[in-house]
Amino acid sequence: MASSEIEVVSDTQNQHSSRVLNGSSNEINIVDVFSASAYGDFDKLRKFVEQDGCSLSQPDGNGYYPLQWASLNNFPDITQYIIEHGGDVNAADNARQTALHWAAVRGSIAVADVLLQKGARVEAADVNGYRAVHVAAQYGQTAFLNHIVVKYGADYDVPDNEGRSPLHWAAYKGFADTIRLLLFRDAFQGRQDKTGCTPLHWAALRGNMEACTILVHAGSKHELTVKDNAGFTPAQLAYDKGQRHVAFLLSNAQRTAGSFFGGKVCFGRIENIGYAPIMLFIIVLLIILFINSVIGAPGLTKVTAVVGLWGWVAVSLAICSLMMFYRCSSKDPGYVKKSEGSTNNTDVEDSLLNIELNSTWVGNWSQLCPTCKIIRPVRSKHCPTCNRCVEQFDHHCPWISNCVGKRNKWDFFIFVCLGTLTSFIAAVVTIQSIRTELPARLAEKWIHHVVVEHPGRVAFLVVDTIVLIGTGALTIAQTSQIARNITTNEMANVARYGYLRGPDGRFRNPYNHGCRKNCTDFLIHGYTDDNEIAWPSLQQTTN
Computed over every residue of the chain, the mean pLDDT equals 83
Same domain, yes or no: 360 and 503? no
Same domain, yes or no: 442 and 350? no
3-state secondary structure of 403: strand
Residue pLDDT, tens place only, 193-235: 999 999 999 999 999 999 999 999 888 888 999 999 999 999 9
Same domain, yes or no: 343 and 317? no
- CATH number of the domain within which 66 lies: 1.25.40.20
Residue at 195 is within a domain: no
Catalytic residue (choose from 386, 397, 403, 417): 397
Same domain, yes or no: 309 and 437? yes
Final residue of a structural domain among 355, 381, 398: 398
Residue at 531 is within a domain: no
Same domain, yes or no: 481 and 388? no
Residue at 311 is within a domain: yes
Same domain, yes or no: 119 and 25? yes
Contact predicate 160/130, CB 8 Å = yes
Residue at 480 is within a domain: yes
Same domain, yes or no: 139 and 288? no
Residue at 390 is within a domain: yes
Distance CA 429, CA 317 (A): 14
Same domain, yes or no: 378 and 493? no
Same domain, yes or no: 58 and 143? yes
Domain that holds residue 72: 3-155
Same domain, yes or no: 134 and 40? yes
Residue 411, classified by CB atoms within 10 Å of its CB into exposed (0-12), middle (13-18) or buried (19+), is buried
Residue 453, classified by CB atoms within 10 Å of its CB into exposed (0-12), middle (13-18) or buried (19+), is middle
pTM of the model: 0.78
Please tell me which residue, 348 or 429, carries the higher pLDDT value.
Answer: 429
Final residue of a structural domain among 124, 155, 186: 155
Residue at 161 is within a domain: no
* Element spanning 415, H or E: helix 409-437
Residue pLDDT, tens place only, 1-53: 433 344 444 444 455 544 455 444 445 678 899 999 999 999 999 999 989 88
3-state secondary structure of 387: coil
Final residue of a structural domain among 90, 121, 155: 155
Same domain, yes or no: 290 and 439? yes
Residue at 141 is within a domain: yes
Count: domains in the chain: 3
Same domain, yes or no: 324 and 462? yes
- Is 397 considered catalytic here? yes
Residue at 238 is within a domain: no
How far is Cα of residue 337 from the mean position of the Cα atoms in its chain? Answer: 18
Residue pLDDT, tens place only, 353-378: 555 556 667 777 888 888 888 888 88
